[in-house]
């Protein structure tokens, strides 16, 4: 008994240390991320494995239905954010990165501190981030439509490209968000670079017209230089061994099916189909837009969980949004100016927050950061989008004018 008591006494500190480590907010938050990623994977599995198992052309009704579903899920998640941060589920809201108040910085506090964030403030930050990311994703649709037009991607295969494009976007954006969060916590002056980059991006969008020739993209040129690329589609496959364009016939039920390749026509080596080239460009497009949009949401909050979840929910509905707006986007002539204004607004917001404490570096009096309230940010973003929509309806584009 004495031996057992002594053993228990010796092991008690170790058990307490394990319990303390397990209850550490940072450790608990890992489970919050794991649970969220699991939820996203369930959504994607249902999307591809159940609702879009067979390639088909997405109708406007189907796209609108899915857009409403994704929008509802994205907005409803703000309710979970409120409850999770208010009750500190899995450590959310505890030891959370947050921007200091002007008064605290005057007292010597750093720009970013860790503290407790309540449910209402977290939910507001999530909604602002979600709306900003959703609005910036609109411009992505212009480029995706251009890519699909250039490669003449059949309508029934476009969903597959967008689905795998979203998978790549989730991985890329997740890595960029956590890299960015780590950098700004360690080097807070990086926020100045983020803000300046957003302003330059807004200026570029306003003054410089994009290149409409997708064939000039370096990724397309490299693929065609180093790999065999077919001139035809092999169903919804990204790679093929076919050397002849597939033919189709109807089965007993009247459904169109692909005929097997003629004997002796299959190549020993794989080739890339145009569908894969379209996927590569969609991934590159998302990477380019992520470089713009991720700094934008860091202007709202430095909390990685809010940044990550709002970003992911915004792009999850991008596929359905594309099919809804691709044909109608030309009617919203004031959408792009609205996106430019939103980018400029979040850039100025980030600079007002980050520049004043560093004015002493250039010999000017050190100032206090100017923090624009989260509620005001939400109203500005929603008001800008609503104004652009109303103006586009009231002042439609003249027939024959270019939309982008």
Q: For each of the chain's 404 residues, which pLDDT tens digit applies?
A: 444 445 444 544 444 343 444 456 677 899 999 999 999 989 888 876 666 667 777 777 888 888 889 999 999 999 999 999 999 999 999 999 999 877 787 777 888 999 999 999 999 999 999 988 888 776 677 678 778 877 888 888 888 898 888 888 888 888 888 888 888 878 888 888 888 888 887 887 787 665 545 566 677 778 888 888 888 889 889 999 999 989 989 888 878 888 999 998 999 899 999 899 989 888 887 887 777 678 888 888 999 999 999 999 988 887 777 877 665 555 677 877 887 888 888 888 888 888 887 887 787 887 878 878 878 887 888 888 889 888 888 887 776 555 54
Q: Hey, what's the torsion of the CAs at 201, 202, 203, 209, to 10 degrees?
A: 80
Residue 23 lies in a domain: no
Residue 382 lies in a domain: yes
Amino acid 217: pLDDT: 66
Residue 252 lies in a domain: no
- What whole-number distance in Å separates Cα of residue 130 and Cα of residue 307? 9
Answer for the pair 162, 318: CB distance below 8 angstroms, yes or no: yes
What H or E segment, with its residue span, contains residue 53? none
Tokens of 150: 């250039």
Residue 166 lies in a domain: yes
Residue that has been written with the tokens 């703000």 in this structure: 78
Print the domain residue range for 382: 39-210+292-394
- In order of 1, 67, 191, 225, 340, the CA distances from 12 in angstroms are 16, 54, 45, 65, 60
Q: What angle do CA 216, 221, 227 make, to 5 degrees?
A: 160
- In order of 36, 38, 167, 310, the CA distances from 43 in angstroms are 11, 9, 12, 16
- In order of 121, 201, 397, the CA distances from 339 in angstroms are 25, 11, 18
Amino acid 302: pLDDT: 92
**How many domains, in total, are found in the chain?**
1
SS3 content of the chain, % helix, strand, coil (to 5): 70, 5, 25
pTM, to two decimals: 0.78
- In order of 124, 205, 250, 367, the CA distances from 386 in angstroms are 19, 20, 48, 35
Amino acid 104: pLDDT: 80
Residue 149 lies in a domain: yes
Residue 404 lies in a domain: no
Residue 147 lies in a domain: yes
Amino acid 218: pLDDT: 74
What H or E segment, with its residue span, contains residue 169? helix 155-186
Residue 320's nearest CA partner among 5, 28, 64, 17 is 64
Residue 235 lies in a domain: no
Residue 141's nearest CA partner among 324, 268, 277, 297 is 324
List b or e across 347-366, with b for residues whose CB sees 16 or more CB atoms inside 10 angstroms: bbbbbbbbbbbbeeeeeeee
What H or E segment, with its residue span, contains residue 248? strand 248-250
């Amino acid at each position: 008994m004495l031996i057992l008591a002594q053993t228990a006494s010796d092991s008690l500190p170790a058990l307490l240390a394990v319990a303390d480590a397990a209850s550490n907010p940072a450790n608990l938050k890992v489970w919050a991320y794991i649970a969220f990623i699991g939820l996203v994977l369930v959504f994607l599995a249902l999307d591809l494995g159940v609702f879009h198992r067979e390639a088909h052309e997405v109708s406007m009704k189907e796209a609108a239905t899915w857009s409403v579903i994704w929008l509802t899920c994205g907005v409803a998640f703000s309710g979970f954010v409120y409850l999770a941060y208010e009750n500190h589920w899995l450590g959310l809201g505890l030891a959370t990165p947050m921007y200091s108040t002007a008064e605290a910085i005057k007292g010597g506090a750093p720009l970013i501190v860790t503290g407790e964030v309540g449910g209402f403030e977290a939910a507001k930050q999530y909604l602002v981030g979600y709306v900003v990311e959703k609005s910036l994703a609109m411009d992505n649709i212009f480029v995706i439509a251009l890519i699909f037009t250039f490669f003449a991607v059949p309508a029934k295969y476009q969903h597959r490209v967008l689905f795998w494009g979203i998978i790549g976007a989730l991985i890329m954006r997740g890595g960029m968000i956590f890299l960015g969060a780590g950098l700004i916590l360690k080097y807070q002056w990086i926020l100045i670079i983020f803000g300046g980059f957003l302003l330059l991006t807004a200026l570029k969008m306003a003054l410089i017209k994009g290149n409409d020739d997708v064939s000039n993209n370096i990724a397309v040129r490299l693929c065609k230089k180093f790999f065999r690329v077919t001139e035809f589609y092999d169903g919804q496959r990204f790679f093929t061994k076919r050397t002849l364009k597939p033919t189709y016939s109807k089965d007993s039920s009247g459904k169109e099916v692909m005929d097997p390749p003629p004997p002796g026509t299959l190549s020993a080596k794989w080739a890339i189909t145009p569908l894969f080239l379209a996927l590569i460009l969609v991934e590159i497009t998302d990477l380019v837009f992520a470089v713009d949009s991720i700094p934008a949401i860091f202007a709202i909050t430095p909390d990685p969980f809010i940044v990550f979840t709002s970003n992911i929910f915004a792009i999850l509905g991008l596929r359905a949004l594309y099919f809804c707006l691709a044909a109608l986007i030309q009617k919203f002539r004031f959408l792009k100016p609205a996106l430019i204004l939103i980018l400029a607004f979040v850039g100025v917001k980030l600079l007002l927050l980050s520049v004043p404490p560093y004015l002493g570096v250039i010999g000017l009096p050190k100032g206090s950061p100017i923090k624009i309230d989260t509620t005001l940010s939400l109203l500005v973003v929603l008001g800008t989008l609503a104004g652009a929509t109303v103006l586009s309806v009231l002042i439609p584009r003249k027939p024959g004018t270019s939309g982008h």
